[in-house]
Every structure is written in C-alpha cells, then in structure tokens.
Structure 1
Amino acid sequence: MNRSITSGVVSVVSAKLVVLVVTTLSTPLLYRFLGASAFGEYAFLLSVFAIYMIFVSSGITDGVRKFLAEDRGEANWSEHVVGFYFRLAVLLAAVGALVLVLATRFGLVARAFGAELAPYFYVLAVLVISAQFRDYARKTLMGFGLERYSEPLKILDKLGFVAIAIPLTYAGVGVVGALAGHLVASLLVTVAGLALVHRRISLSCVFSRPPNRFPRRKMLTFNSLNIALVFLLMSLYHIDIVMLQRFSESSAVGNYRAALTLAEFLWFVPLAIQTVFVHSTSELWSQNRHREISKLASRTTRYTFLLTAVMAVGLAALADVAVPIYFGEEAVPAIEPLLLLLPGALGFALARPILAVSQGNGALRYPILATGSAAVINVVLNVALIPRYGMHGAAVATSVGYGSMFVFHCWTARLVGFDPLADARLGRVALATAFAAVPIVALSTAIANPWVALALVPPIGFVVFLGFALLVGALDPAEPFEVLASFPDPIGTKADAIHRRLEGVGRDGSARDWVQSLLVLAGLSLLVSGLALGVLGPDLQYVLS
C-alpha cells in the first residue's frame, strides 16, 4: 500500500469525529422520544442483532480487508479476493435472513425474548441483508487502502439513520422507526459503496472462478477463527444488556445503555486505530518487519493510554453534570454505573490496538485465547452480580471483563511475536493521570454552574494533563508535533518545523535541563492550585456560578 498508516488513522479519526458529533446530538433525542423503557428495548434488539451478525458478517468483513491488503504478486489477486468474499456474503446473508424469519414465524423468538419483541425481528431479518453488504462494501474499500472513501460512507450511514429515525420516533412510531432508520441508511451505504468498489475493480469478478491454487482453505480457516474471536469480543459488549433485560425492567436497561454510551466515548480514537491496524499491520507482518511492529504497537499503547486516561478523568469529574444535561433527569440513575464502567473502558481502549496488530498477523489462536479468557470472566461475573445488584452489578462485571482484556492481550502479544509495552511507559502515564486528577476534579467541584463546568473543565483539564505528562516523561515534547507532522498541510508543515526544533532542544543538555526545571515548577503550581480549589471550592462556587 502506497500510503502511511498515519494517513489511514487520520481519515478514520476524521470520520469518527463527525459520527461522534452526530451521535452526541442524536442519542439524547432518541432517548427522550422513545422513553427509557422503549430505549431499553431498542438497545436490547441491537445487542441481539449485533451478536447474530457475528456469524453472518464478521468473517466476511475482516477477511476481505486483510487479504486485499496482503502484498501478493499473484495475477488478478484482488479480483479473486473481492469475488470470493462477495459470493460468500450473498450466501451467508440469505441464510441469515431466512433463519431469522423462520425462527420468528414458528415462535422461537417469542419463547426466547417475549412475544412483545417478536415482530421487530422481521425488520431485523431485512436488516441482515442490507447490513451485510453495507459492511462488505466499506471493508473492501479499506482493504484497498481507500479510507478516504470508506469513512465518508460511515458518515452517510449515521446521517441517514438520524434523518429517518429521529422524525419517526418523534412522530410516535417507536422502536420500529429507529430500526427503519438503520435499514434505510444501510441501503444507501450499500449502493454507494458497491459503486465505489466497482470503480476500482469491476464487480463482474464475482462470476469468475479463481484458480485451484487460490488459498480458499486458508481464507475459510481465517473466517472461522475470526468469527470465534469476534463472537467472544462482542459478548463483552452485549451480554450485560441481554442479561439485564431478563432480570430488570426495561427502564434499567435504558439507563445502563446510557451509561455505556458515555463510557464508550473513551474508545473514539482506539477504535479508529484498530480499524486501520488490521489491514495495515497485515502488510508489515507479510514483510517480517517485527521490530517495526513492536515499536508501532508500544508507542500506540502509550498514546492511547494518555488520551483515554485524561478523557476518563474528565468524564468522571463531570458525570453528575453531564448525564442529566445529556440524557435528561430521567437518566440520573446512570451516573453510578458510568463511574463503575470507566476503569474497565480504559483498559479495553488499551487492548484494542494490540488486538488489531495480532489480527493482522493472521494467527488468531492467541487473540482468541486472550479474548475468551476475558469473556469467561465477564459472563461469570454478570451471572453472579446482575440478579442481585442489577445494573450496578452489570457495570462492575463488565468493567472487570473489559479491563482484563488489556492484561490478557499484552501476554498473548508476545506469543504472537511483538511487545506492546516496549515503550508504553505505563507507570509514568499513570503518575501523570494521578497528578492531573487533583486539579481537574477540584475545578469541576468548585464550579457550581453546570454549563460553565462543561465549557471550562475539558480544555483546562487537557492542558493540565499535558503539562504533567511532559513533566513526568510520559510524553516527550517533540512527540505531539511528530504525530501532527503527518497531517495535511498547512498543519503538517508547521508541525514538522516545530518537531525539528524541539528535537534540537532535546539534544542540547542545558536546554533540556532548563525545560525540565520549568516543567517541575509548572507541575508543582498545578498541584497546589488543585489542592487550593479543593479547600476553597465552596467560596469559589459563588464567583464561578
């Protein structure tokens, strides 16, 4: 692939930022228009659908982008891969939709989930087909390294959903209206995505038969193992929702889903990195560039820890302010589950890029072992805690399951052949997080006006955290500009110039000592100001409100 991994990440992050903004604006509207109970039913249906689609789609989507990205010199390799996975996608989509219709028609769905939810599964059966080709088209474009096309399709998917679902739910159509939004949006993306794929490679290749040496068995083996991996991974996302629906009221499921929605904001950048790393590192593995893979993985782990740690601290500090404003007063019970979910969500964020690098290797036995161990812990704890503690028990169980992912995947990464902790500096990042938490929490406590808190705490908290990260050595002064140098101009050129100057400062011992002394003074002043805010908070509340 004639592109940098960074450019792929930038494309994905840019699209995810737009999707995040749209989701941030639309989710509270959906929650209000449906109500807590109907929103809980909707969240439950999407969880069941996501688990079901693992067996229909996951082997297709990850397989096509992995094998398209491999650096092979075989004739018509791309055409054969695209055609092979398209035919497989048609077969699995047809079978998946038919099974869902028959299960609903003969009462299996009603016995498993309740008669009131059964009619929705006819809509889900149609969604199986449209979602299959939506994801196939997007992941095929990613396999070609065309994130500049695949990611705008994700934006189209989200905008299409909002344009249909919000008016229908506002009009009182309910859960069917929300599901109709997903159906229409996925159809739009399918048409646009397949048209873009056809521009790169003619879809007539679906009718051509690949040669006997085409590695069908290897692909099908990867698909089977990937289905197992994704099933275990998705169980971490959805088993709590499914179990909570059986042991609690729908309103509790809705509030718990609201807490999960906020906790999953921590995965914004890690998800983008994971999306790109599967096919990008596949190329590195095919060239046996193990040292470069370890360097990439460990630095990514450190950057992910830095970014998600400050987000977690800020979200925890503002939880009692953000939840009522975002979802409404009805969602206040979601605050405590959110706080319980944050530590695990942070651990899961760290595990995502590591998992993607392991997937790029293609040897999925060890990632399956790691994810399976975390999934077992998650299921056992959910079974033990949900019946007694409800959504609080689900939050604790899920947080532990999420957090264990990082531990298990660090262990199996070395078995795969790379070290994700070589330059992770976990201790220094944790120290910077602990130092920064004092002024961030103190500031959020001191500000009585919720809107002022939401406006001031995030930017000030980020600057405070960045200062402590530089102070303790979790981040080198030149590194942020090294990342920004890969951005398009004019950002890239200016950042590269700053990066070169800072590298010169780093090689100058006296200059480096001066910078470190300045950072120490800044860090001490931030700690003192944080403690002062904690003590003087009640007096400052009047001023800041």
Structure 2
Amino acid sequence: MNRSIASGILSVVGGKVVILVVTALTTPLLYRLLGASRFGEYSFLLSVFALYMIFVSSGITDGVRKFLAEDRPIANWSELVVGFYFRLAILTSVVGAALLVVAARGRIVELAFGPGFATYFHVLAVLVLAAQFRSYARKTLMGFGLERYSEPLQILDTVAFVALAIPLVALGHGVIGALAGRVLASALVAVVGLALVHRQVSLRCIFSRPPSRFPSRTMLTFNSMSVVLVLLLTSLYHVDIIMLQRFRESAQVGHYRAALTLAEFLWFVPLALQTVYVHSTSELWSQNRHRQISELASRTTRYTFLLTAVMAVGLAALADVAVPIYFGPDATPAIEPLLLLLPGALGFALARPILAVAQGKGTLRYPVVATGLAAVINVALNALLIPRYGMHGAAVATSVGYGSMFVFHCLSARLVGFRPLVGARIGQATLATGLSSIPIFAMATNITKPWLALVVVPPAGFVIFVFCALLTGALGLGELREVLAAFPGPVEAPASPHRQPTNDRLGFTVGDWFQTLLLVVGMVLLVSGAIVALFRTGAV
C-alpha cells in the first residue's frame, strides 16, 4: 500500500480513537441507566432524527465546504459563500423544526408511534436547530482548510454529550435527559464553531446581497447525487430500528440496538479507509491509472476481509461473555441478534472501501444504484420478517441487506472501471477464517471465567488467525514484513561507503525471528485448540 495513503489512514484512525473510546464507554452506561425499553426509545428517536436531518441539511454542509475551497473571480467570494449557506441553514432548520412541532402537536406523532413520543419530538425540534449549525460550523471550517479546528470540535461534541447527558439520565430524566444532553452539546459546538468561523469571515455577511454573477442556482442544486447516496446509506443504518419500533415493544429495540452497537465495531477501520480513499484515489483516477487503482482496491479488500473476519470470529466466540459484561445481564437477549448480524456486518465492511474508490472517480450513478438495490432489499426483508420474528427477523433482514452491499458494489466497481476482487484472495481468506475459528471457539468455550476469556482469547486468536492466513496464502511473509517495518526499530549507524554491510552469522533479522516465533506459536495453538475441540465434541 502506498505509504502516503497508509499514513493518511493512520491519521484518520488516530483522530477517531477518542470518539470511539468515549462512545464505547458511554453506550453500555446509557443502556444500564435507561434500561432496555427506554434505550430502545432513545435509539429509535436518533434513527428518525438521522434520516430527517438529511433533508434538513441537504447539500448545505457539503456545499459550503466545496465552494469555499474554490477560488472564483468574484469579489468577496468567501463572504458570499458563507452568507449564502448560513441563510439557507437558518431557513431549512427553522422549517424542519417547525414541521416536527406541528407533527407533535397535531397528534401525527402519537398516532404513528404511540403516546408519549410527542414530548420527545418537541426536544428533537430544538435539536434540529442546534445540530444544523454545529454541522454548518464544522464544514465551513473544513472549507477554509482548518481541519485542526473542525476535528477537535467533533471530539468536543462527543465529550460534552457524555458530560451533560449521563448526569441528566442518572438524575432520573430518562430519554429527555439524554436528548437534552445532545441538544446542549450540539449548541456548545455550534457556538464555538461559529466563533471560529467569525475569525475568518465576519458573520455579518449573512446580510450581504450576492451579485448577479453569484452561482446561486448551481449551489442550490449541488451534490444531489451525493445526497441520494447518503440517504440510501443512512437508511441501511436506521430503517430496521424504525420498523422494529413500529411492530414490537421498545425493549426489543433496545436489545437490538445493543447488538448493532457491537456489530458496528467491525466498521471502524473500513470507515477510516473510506474517508481517506475518496481523496487519495481521486488523483489516480485523474491520471487514468486504472491498474494501480485495481491493485489498491484488491489489496485493501483482502486486508479488510482479514482484519474484519478475525474480529467477527472473536466477537462471535465471546458473544455470550462479552454482551452481559458490556451491557449487563439484562442484555442477554441481544446475543442471538448479534450473531445473526455479524455475517452482514462483514460484507458491509468489505463494501466500504470499494464504494470509496468509486466515489473518488466522481461518477456516482453506479454506486447509487448498487446502494439503492441493497436498501430496497433491506426494507423489503425488514417489512416481511419483523412483524413475524421481531428483532431476530430484523437481524436476518439487515444482515442480508448489509451483505448484498458487497455483491452489488463489486458489480458496480466493474462498471466504474476497476476490479476489487482480482488478487483479493477471497478463497484463501475464507479458508483461513474457517480454520482459525475451530481453535478460537474451542478456547472461548473451555475458558469458564468470563474476564479470563476476554483477556486470553483475543490475542491468542489473533496469532492463530495470522498463522492460518500465512498457511493458506491469504497473507504473505513479505506483506507481514512490510507491516513490521512500519513500526520503529533501533537506530542503525550509517554504513561506511568502503565497507559492505554484514549480517549476523545466521542471516536472520528481528522481523525474521518474529515471524518464525509467530509460526511456531500459531502451530502450537492451532493443534492444541483442534485437539481440545475434538475432545469437547466427543469426536475422540
């Protein structure tokens, strides 16, 4: 993988680590404080809000980032762009909030979702205003190239939510307290962000009238295909929760949301890859370097498969241990939906980088069609299975919908102009996953102490998986050496120009010793795990 792209990926991952850790700690705490039923209501409200905000913010946040980055021959261009989108943000947010209030007071919400939800929608109306200007401020800063401010604002939003929402919920304010925490955190980020924007461009520009040459129509219609793509992707995340709330009690929604939270941990690295690849592959597309793009996509698909598969196997093996420890003993019903969601989560993880490479070309017709087909399958199966099977039906439907993303985007990639499966070694990676799952599940089953299993199984399972990947050819020794070379090593003195560098008498480097040790340990763990599994099942 290109080192510059790899460093970009590491930068994105590093920036998201704080948010991931805080979210990982907060979600089970909210689940325990709210209980399964109210946590289900809270999750449902956030899903409705996420879909609703696509229409409220449609084209505004991405538009201001794009057009601020341009340098058009129009006087005071930056001020005009900031003012235009600020006025549009005010208009759409006020209209969006007003519609929620009307729906809540006109009993539309009560008839659609049941009594008690009208109060929640009044709070969501306030959140529309706060979230609109939070996102507007962040994307405006990004348009100015001030990511050093925009990214910390996202961390501030997460940390402020935890600091405000958790005490409110703990004091007995329930779902209203959690939503109020989101409102206050978003408002704080919006105020800080707009103050930073004001340092670049005076916000009095909202009163400036643009000249006749100002491309208002172009800016209004910008990003229509991107908005459709975002809507389709967001529907894959949230439509199952919304439909489950419609047909089942809130407790099932809470258990299902808990299962989704764990399954979505598999997407952390693929999401980082997607964030970087949209920009990193644009240059390759502009240079018509199709072969390099296909090689990059296939290698990324293989690495994503290997990394996500070992996480999925470990999570499946430890599900009956991890879920009660993470969410509490009341969350035990979430175990089965989690197991049903994992195959689809793996497929969705594989589709993410492929979609990013296609986005880098700028032609969104085929990715939109591929995502649309997956979204239709997801909605149809959820509508068919949820009324009869509840959260288990939702898990099966969503898993199939997620998995179809990989299939459809592989077909879309061929139409766009690259082949992500050529050289991806999917067969070898699948075989490595199957072989390693035997000893990993055996270890998880035979270690009876839950905390000991959580400590021992993940690292040991990773070593076993890497060994199986090397054994089947899914991963090469040279590739493993590249990964090891990325870590800092001892500083070597510069070699004399008159003297050839010498190796130690065995000709082994530290990386060679590490690989040999890895193979030996992996072989021992694989054989011992297989023997334990055979005795456990009574085969011998």
Structure 2 residue identity aligned to 1:462: F
Q: Is the 8 A contact 2:279 2:360 kept in 1?
A: yes
Structure 2 residue identity aligned to 1:452: L
**Partner in structure 2 of residue 432 of structure 1:** 432
CA distance in 2, matches of 1:485, 1:211: 56
CA distance in 2, matches of 1:131, 1:150: 14
Q: Is the 8 A contact 2:463 2:518 kept in 1?
A: no
**Partner in structure 1 of residue 319 of structure 2:** 319
- 1:285-304 to 2 correspondences below 5 Å: 285=285, 288-304=288-304
Structure 2 residue identity aligned to 1:256: Y
Tell me: CA distance 1:406–1:183, structure 2 relative to 1, closer, same or farther (3 Å): same
Q: Is the 8 A contact 1:343 1:403 kept in 2?
A: yes
CA distance in 2, matches of 1:384, 1:189: 41
CA distance in 1, matches of 2:65, 2:440: 41
Find out whether 1:255 has 2:277 as its counterpart. no
Question: How many residue pairs were aligned?
Answer: 522
- 1:142-181 to 2 correspondences below 5 Å: 142=142, 146-181=146-181
**Partner in structure 1 of residue 444 of structure 2:** 444
Deviation (angstroms), 1:266: 0.6
**Partner in structure 2 of residue 133 of structure 1:** 133
Deviation (angstroms), 1:349: 1.1
Structure 2 residue identity aligned to 1:346: L
- Out of 477-486 and 53-62, give the one that drifted further: 477-486
Deviation (angstroms), 1:324: 0.8
SS at match of 2:528: helix
Q: Is the 8 A contact 1:433 1:465 kept in 2?
A: yes
Q: Is the 8 A contact 2:355 2:409 kept in 1?
A: yes
| Two-structure CA RMSD over aligned residues (Å) | 3.5
Structure 1 residue identity aligned to 2:416: V
Q: Is the 8 A contact 1:346 1:403 kept in 2?
A: yes
Q: Is the 8 A contact 1:12 1:147 kept in 2?
A: no
Deviation (angstroms), 1:148: 4.3
**Partner in structure 2 of residue 356 of structure 1:** 356
Tell me: CA distance 1:278–1:80, structure 2 relative to 1, closer, same or farther (3 Å): farther
Tell me: CA distance 1:333–1:125, structure 2 relative to 1, closer, same or farther (3 Å): same
Q: C-alpha offsets along residues 26-77 of structure 1, whole Å, 9 cap, x if unaligned?
A: 212211111111111111111111111111125333444456668x786787
Structure 2 residue identity aligned to 1:61: T
Q: Which of structures 1 and 2 has the bigger CA Rg?
A: 2
Q: Is the 8 A contact 2:301 2:420 kept in 1?
A: yes
Structure 1 residue identity aligned to 2:49: F
Find out whether 1:533 has 2:532 as its counterpart. yes
CA distance in 2, matches of 1:307, 1:20: 17
Deviation (angstroms), 1:340: 0.1
Tell me: CA distance 1:60–1:463, structure 2 relative to 1, closer, same or farther (3 Å): farther
Find out whether 1:265 has 2:265 as its counterpart. yes
- Out of 37-46 and 352-361, give the one that drifted further: 352-361
- Out of 158-167 and 186-195, give the one that drifted further: 186-195
**Partner in structure 2 of residue 469 of structure 1:** 469
**Partner in structure 2 of residue 194 of structure 1:** 194
SS at match of 1:475: coil
SS at match of 2:57: helix
CA distance in 2, matches of 1:197, 1:296: 37
**Partner in structure 2 of residue 375 of structure 1:** 375
CA distance in 1, matches of 2:80, 2:410: 35
Q: Is the 8 A contact 1:344 1:398 kept in 2?
A: yes
Structure 1 residue identity aligned to 2:428: R
Deviation (angstroms), 1:161: 0.8
Q: Is the 8 A contact 1:471 1:516 kept in 2?
A: no
Deviation (angstroms), 1:410: 1.4
Deviation (angstroms), 1:137: 2.9
CA distance in 2, matches of 1:439, 1:496: 40
CA distance in 1, matches of 2:296, 2:247: 44
**Partner in structure 1 of residue 227 of structure 2:** 227
**Partner in structure 2 of residue 542 of structure 1:** none
Deviation (angstroms), 1:411: 1.1
Structure 2 residue identity aligned to 1:301: T
CA distance in 1, matches of 2:471, 2:347: 24
Q: Is the 8 A contact 2:323 2:332 kept in 1?
A: yes
SS at match of 2:118: coil
CA distance in 1, matches of 2:131, 2:255: 27
Q: C-alpha offsets along residues 335-367 of structure 1, whole Å, 9 cap, x if unaligned?
A: 000000000011111112222333333322212
SS at match of 2:172: coil
Identity %: 71
Structure 1 residue identity aligned to 2:192: A
SS at match of 1:115: coil
Deviation (angstroms), 1:468: 2.4
CA distance in 1, matches of 2:210, 2:424: 44
CA distance in 1, matches of 2:310, 2:89: 41
Q: C-alpha offsets along residues 107-129 of structure 1, whole Å, 9 cap, x if unaligned?
A: 22222222310111111111112
Tell me: CA distance 1:94–1:422, structure 2 relative to 1, closer, same or farther (3 Å): farther
Structure 2 residue identity aligned to 1:464: I
Q: C-alpha offsets along residues 478-513 of structure 1, whole Å, 9 cap, x if unaligned?
A: 546656877xxxx5677999xxxxxxx9xxxx9999
Q: TM-score, normalised by structure 2?
A: 0.86
Q: C-alpha offsets along residues 213-264 of structure 1, whole Å, 9 cap, x if unaligned?
A: 7665555444322222222111111111111112111111111111111111
Structure 2 residue identity aligned to 1:173: H
Q: C-alpha offsets along residues 179-200 of structure 1, whole Å, 9 cap, x if unaligned?
A: 0111111122223333444556
Q: Is the 8 A contact 1:60 1:223 kept in 2?
A: no
Structure 1 residue identity aligned to 2:12: V
Deviation (angstroms), 1:525: 3.9
CA distance in 2, matches of 1:474, 1:208: 60
Q: Is the 8 A contact 1:345 1:399 kept in 2?
A: yes
Q: Is the 8 A contact 1:36 1:254 kept in 2?
A: yes
Gaps of 5+ in 2: 494-502
CA distance in 2, matches of 1:83, 1:280: 31
**Partner in structure 2 of residue 28 of structure 1:** 28
Q: Is the 8 A contact 2:467 2:523 kept in 1?
A: no
- Out of 88-97 and 396-405, give the one that drifted further: 88-97
- Out of 440-449 and 276-285, give the one that drifted further: 276-285
SS at match of 1:122: helix
Tell me: CA distance 1:197–1:271, structure 2 relative to 1, closer, same or farther (3 Å): farther
Q: Is the 8 A contact 1:11 1:147 kept in 2?
A: no
CA distance in 1, matches of 2:219, 2:301: 29
**Partner in structure 2 of residue 89 of structure 1:** 89
- 1:434-513 to 2 correspondences below 5 Å: 434-479=434-479, 482=482, 491=487
Tell me: CA distance 1:294–1:117, structure 2 relative to 1, closer, same or farther (3 Å): same
Deviation (angstroms), 1:526: 3.9
Gaps of 5+ in 1: 498-504, 540-545
- Out of 394-403 and 77-86, give the one that drifted further: 77-86
Deviation (angstroms), 1:466: 2.1
Tell me: CA distance 1:401–1:251, structure 2 relative to 1, closer, same or farther (3 Å): same
